Amino acid sequence: MMSTIPLHKNLRLLGHAAKFPVSPDKAKFEKIAKPFSQYDYLVRFTCPEFTSLCPVTGQPDFAHIVIDFVPNKFLIESKSLKLFLQSFRNHGAFHEDCTVMIGHRLIQAIRPKWIRISGYWYPRGGMPIDVFFQHGKLPKEVSVPDTGVKPYRGRG
């Protein structure tokens, strides 16, 4: 049995040229109906080259972001997620703010059953800062694999 989800007519980013949002607040999410809605399953997006700006110095900060979620009725469309994540490049915010904001915006957009944002930030002042945000209840039958990001040792 295959799940066929028709491409939604309301998608404006996928398959079209799109401008980068000027800030995370201006980014627009697009969503699609969850295929195989009778099942719970995990969706993972990984952004190993996330960039934002230090709000104090204006210097770039780098992170490896892992987004895990169990969809409720919708999935996030990946191009809109990529544009949202890229909008942080010129956004000044602390690591905690960036990590939690990603989770907060996704909760607002798709209302997942469960979500976890793992932010593995590269060292600032010689110390890496890792931030984890989780919301909702993980369904018992859903397995969440390790993020695969090793504790800091040059994180290469």
Is the pLDDT assigned to residue 5 strictly greater than 80?
no
Domain of 39: which CATH number? 3.30.1130.10
Q: Among residues 25, 40, 47, 54, which one is catalytic? A: 54
The average pLDDT across 38-54 equals 97
Residue 148 included in any domain: no
Residue 138 included in any domain: no
Residue 105 included in any domain: yes
Q: Among residues 47, 61, 68, 98, which one is catalytic? A: 61
Structural domain harbouring 34 = 26-132
- With bands split at pLDDT 50, 70 and 90, how would you rate the model's confidence at 11? low
Residue 73 included in any domain: yes
Residue 53 included in any domain: yes
Mean pLDDT, the chain, integer: 89
Residue 123 included in any domain: yes
- How far is residue 98's CA from residue 131's CA, in Å, rounded to a whole number? 9
Total domains, the chain? 1
Residue 76 included in any domain: yes
Q: Does the active-site annotation cover 40? A: no
The residues near 14 (Cβ < 8 Å, ≥ 6 apart) are 7, 30, 77, 79, 80
pTM for this structure?
Answer: 0.88
